[in-house]
Amino acid sequence: MLNVQSERKRTWMQGLCLVLFLLSSTLAFAQNQVRGVVTDKLGEPLIGVNVLEKGTTNGTVTDIDGKYTVNVPKGKTLVFSFIGFATQEIKVDSKVLNVTLSEDTETLDEVVVVGYGSMTRKDVTSSITTVKAEDLNVGVYTSPAQLLQGKVPGLTIANTSDPNGSASISLRGASSLRSGEAMEPYYVIDGVPGVSLSLVAPEDIESIDVLRDASATAIYGSKAANGVIIVTTKKGNKNGKTNVNYSGYVAWDKTMKTLDMMTADEVLAYAEANDLDLSSYYDVNNPANTDWQREVLRTGFSHNHNISINGGNDKTSYNASLNFLDRQGTVRGTGMDRLTARSFLQSKAFDNRLDFSISLNASVSNNENGPTNNEGRSVLDAMNYYLPLNPVKNDDGSWYGRTTSQYYNPASLINEDRYKTTQKLLQGVAKATVHILDGLDWNLNLSYQNEQYIYNNYHSSKSQIVDYASRNGQADRSTVENIKKQMETYINWDHTFNEAHKVGVMLGYSWEQSDNNDGFGLVAYNFYNDDLSYYNMALANKISLDDISNLNSGYLLSTLRMISYYGRVNYSYKSKYLLQATVRRDGSSAFGVNNRWGTFPSVSASWRIIEEDFMKDQHVFDDLKLRVGYGVSGNSLGFDAFYSRQVYGSTGWFTPSSGGNYRVLGATRNANPDLKWEKTGMLNVGLDFGFFKNRLTGTIEYYDKRTSDLIYNYKVSTLLYPYSEMWANVGDISNKGFEITLNAVPVQTKDFTWSTTLNLSHNKNKVESMSNSEYSVKYIEMADPNINSYSNQHVQRLMEGAPIGQFYLWEWAGYDENGMSVFNDYDENGNLVGTTDAPDDGDRRMAGSAQPKLTYGWNNEFTWKKWSLSAFFQGVAGNKIFNAIRASYSDPSLLSSFGKNILAEVATEQHANDSRAQAPSTRYLENGSYLRLSTLTLGYNFGKLGNYVNNLRVYATCNNVFTLTGYKGIDPEVNLGGLEPGMDMRSSNYPRTRSFMVGVNMNF
């Protein structure tokens, strides 16, 4: 019996061993170890190529010799991918698979949007930067312009945390002596020029192309001197499916930094130490201890939601989106909300010979704030100067206040002086393209845009502002409308001869009319109560003709018309030698009758050196292209219809003997029939390159930009002209600079990738001339910092040989033996002769510029499996900032003579009787350089979830993470545009905030 059991056990063990052997053999067979070498087309091994079993995480990377080994069952597919090369998929049918990867031409073949058409990147001969949607900045932004900060070389953008503010933006330096629209780039949205950016939500953007040099912008002629920014929005797909996308976020804004003003205890200690009597400025028997910054500031909450639906087939495609943004400012009483809707429908007809599309877009926004733009009565000023010994309210619940000029309780300003603006935009666009022959298309674009602004202001019966305190409630209400109509028609012809000579021709005509500033308004005051504010002004008891006249004097209907003829020719020989020439002739009613027309030509060429035979066997460059271009563009932006015309208006009142009041009419603007276009000519030289299998690519640019016939308002003699000023063409400005862009993928493994982009820009701006034989000015004083005791003491000059933003200041020389500020004293020959306590205009000297020597942006993207991390740095270097805030609050007399608060540092850094401490001098001119971690985003991509969610991504973002700077002010990112760059003003400095966002992107 024992032997039988032993035999059975032995038989069972033998059977188990056989099963395990067969199983292991099967697994070994199933794994099928595959090996091989991955090379490029020249046979060079490629290091770090991802080798992955399709649909799995099973894979490896090639070693230093391009070799790989991976276990993959037969019949499965291996995916070979590497930066700079086209991805290959190969079915496993043997144990040895040697693979040759071809260079990825996707970047070279990507479509770049240019004026009235598009072309592939490799055929571009001018300077154009494309920023895809996924590369735009992430944050609580109200304008698409903010999305580009630090992303485009030469594009200088200074953002603001004010929800009702706008970023300052300039491209390759200032090229006009007119501010506002005249200094900003021209915007084109989906091929329609001059469209308001408020019609586009950031989530609806597909890409942004920035045309940087004149050879690219000249096709837009008289509106392109400051560059052109082309926004392309998302359209429908043609895969036969309907896609629903949702993206949204919630965000919190916190103020990063505030001024260190004296606390109540510090004020009392300072007063006692310096024998100051402040009893008339507060209740000595019941002193308060108010932190006015805390009373004004808060945590701002924002949320944004965007939903879009798109779909279609080969014949018809569509897209519709709805976006809602609600942003609360960190200053109480400030905020905005906006609803944006976009719709697009495209279809084909007549055997695909006709493409037709229509789009309807609309936007409604509401902006609310209190007084923030006037010294003294600004909330941003009052939260610093208001004495902390004063309470917010009196015992009876009314606002605490004193009848002192320019001294207002900031809590009262927030609650009793309210400003609300409603903006309504409507745009309709119709486009048609007829494919006449293969390669020959005729295009027709029609667009209509209506802008309406409704301004509502109410100063209640409790307002402390002197102008309104005695009016028992005042309501101001006005509305203005702008209408723009455009028609553009052009043909495109493209043909390739003998598979080598590619020719493209575009010819077009456009007509547009702008009816701007058509508005009116009403002012009424003395209401029975404040319940209705501005909603029923008929209940007011008084109106004033002077008030109504002042309000309506700015509403003058201005009708401008422009017609244009334009054309472009492109030639390419085997994508090796490329040539482009454009010309545009514009006629505008804005200019004098003798100079209504202007011509704007350009020519550019490029040589793709990498395509030459002598480059085939070299192993250094993977791409090399030289570009040279020159073009002329104009600047007709920012004009009304009356700049060149004789204008008469009201200059006062008179009372005849018969009684009654009648207006006096007189000249308010001289005619200048010779007023003509500002013209900007630009030479651009660029070199595009690629190394290390295009894992390192980049561009180096040099440009020389010169603007002539600058328009400025010059003083003239009333003996020769009816009015004392005249707009005339006189000056010249130059801008020269270098720009460098580098794109690299330093690390790429199976699970981890690090890609980085760096751009650097240097621009030198100089006013070449400002006078001629007829119109002459030695210099123009600019930038009044509004400092106590120094009214109209400007700190900048526009002058020949210096840049816009040239500081011209007294030189602070420290303190005299009595602790009083003194300044360098110069004689009439410009020699330093000592110091003085009473500097005059002759003692001012050039003292640095607001123009940065270097502007940069550095973006880093890290991906690990389904995780992603992006870190974006940006900043400027070599610029000066005049810290007018610090100068204003360093004045000891503010406390002793006016009962206003001052900086805490005054107690330790200067004498209490220093009456010149706040003098606008080099003491307050500071280095504006900074490096900021602008955006840090961590995301996780869940991918496809179930049958309904195609993709789900969640992310968290922090904006303005930290800033490295030596600047003593609140924030070094100040306005760098306009005619007064580099000024940090106390009335308009909205506190910089740090934002925290949590968001989600979903596709159904």
Sheet of 880-883, strands arranged across = 925-927, 880-883, 983-984
How far apart are alpha carbons 500 and 506 in whole angstroms? 20
Give the CA count within 13 Å in the CB-facing half-sphere of 92.
25
Judge whether 441 and 492 are in contact, CB under 8 Å. Answer: yes
pLDDT exceeds cutoff 60 at 285: yes
Q: What is the C-alpha to C-alpha distance for residues 966 and 963, in angstroms, rounded to an integer?
A: 10
Q: pLDDT tens, 368-381?
A: 998 887 777 899 99
Contact 408, 464 (CB under 8 A): yes
**Whether 706 contacts 654, CB under 8 Å:** no
* Model pLDDT for residues 438-481, shown as the tens digit of each residue: 889 999 999 999 999 999 999 999 999 888 888 999 999 999 99
Residue 243 pLDDT exceeds 80: yes
868 beta partners:
863, 939
Helix (H, G, I), strand (E, B) or coil at 178: coil
596-610 pLDDT per residue, tens: 999 999 999 999 998
| pLDDT tens digits along 688-739 | 999 888 889 999 999 999 999 999 999 988 888 888 888 999 989 999 999 9
- Dist. CA 835–CA 818, nearest whole Å: 14
b/e 603-631 (16+ beta carbons within 10 angstroms → b): bbbbbbbbbeeeeeeeeeebbbbebbbbb
pLDDT band for 108, please (50, 70, 90 cuts).
low
Backbone angles phi, psi at 552, to 5 degrees: -90, -10
The tens digit of pLDDT for each residue in 209-235 reads 888 888 888 888 888 888 899 898 988
What is the β-pairing status of strands 880-883 and 983-984?
parallel
Model confidence at 20: pLDDT above 70: no
Range list of β-strands (E), 535-636 = 558-573, 577-588, 597-607, 621-635
pLDDT at 28: 41
Query: How much of the chain, in percent, has pLDDT values that exceed 90?
Result: 55
The 3-class SS string of 870-930 reads EEEEEEEECCEEEEHHHHHCCCCHHHHHHCCCCECCHHHHCCCCCCCCCCCEHHHEEECCE
Q: Find the helix or strand (DSSP H, E) in which 769 lies.
A: strand 752-769
* Dist. CA 100–CA 42, nearest whole Å: 9
Residue showing tokens 């052997």 = 21
Cβ burial, residue 430 (10 Å; 0-12/13-18/19+): middle
Q: How many residues does the chain have?
A: 1004
For residue 893, what are the β-bridge partners?
Answer: none
Tell me the whole-structure pTM to 2 decimals: 0.87
Q: Which pLDDT does position 603 carry in this prediction?
A: 94
**Cα–Cα distance for residue pair 784/939, rounded to 1 Å:** 46
CA 150 to chain centre: 9
26 falls in which pLDDT band (50, 70, 90)? very low
In our burial notation (b when 16+ CB lie closer than 10 A, e otherwise), range 963-998 reads: bebebebbbbbbbbbbbbbbbbbbbbbbbbbbbbbe
What pLDDT does 107 receive? 56
Over residues 645-684, the pLDDT tens digits come to 888 888 888 888 777 778 888 888 888 999 998 999 999 9
Average pLDDT of span 604-625? 88
Q: Could you give phi then psi for residue 181, rounded to 5 degrees?
A: -60, -30
Question: What confidence category does residue 104 fall into, taking pLDDT thresholds of 50, 70 and 90?
Answer: low
Q: Give the residue ranges of DSSP H helices in 402-462.
A: 410-416
Give CA angle at 639 (634, 641), nearest 5°: 120
Whole-number Å distance between alpha carbons of 324 and 322: 7
Q: By CB neighbour count within 10 A (0-12 exposed, 13-18 middle, 19+ buried), where does 552 fall?
A: middle
Contact partners, residue 183, CB within 8 Å, separation at least 6: 170, 174, 175, 176, 226, 977, 978
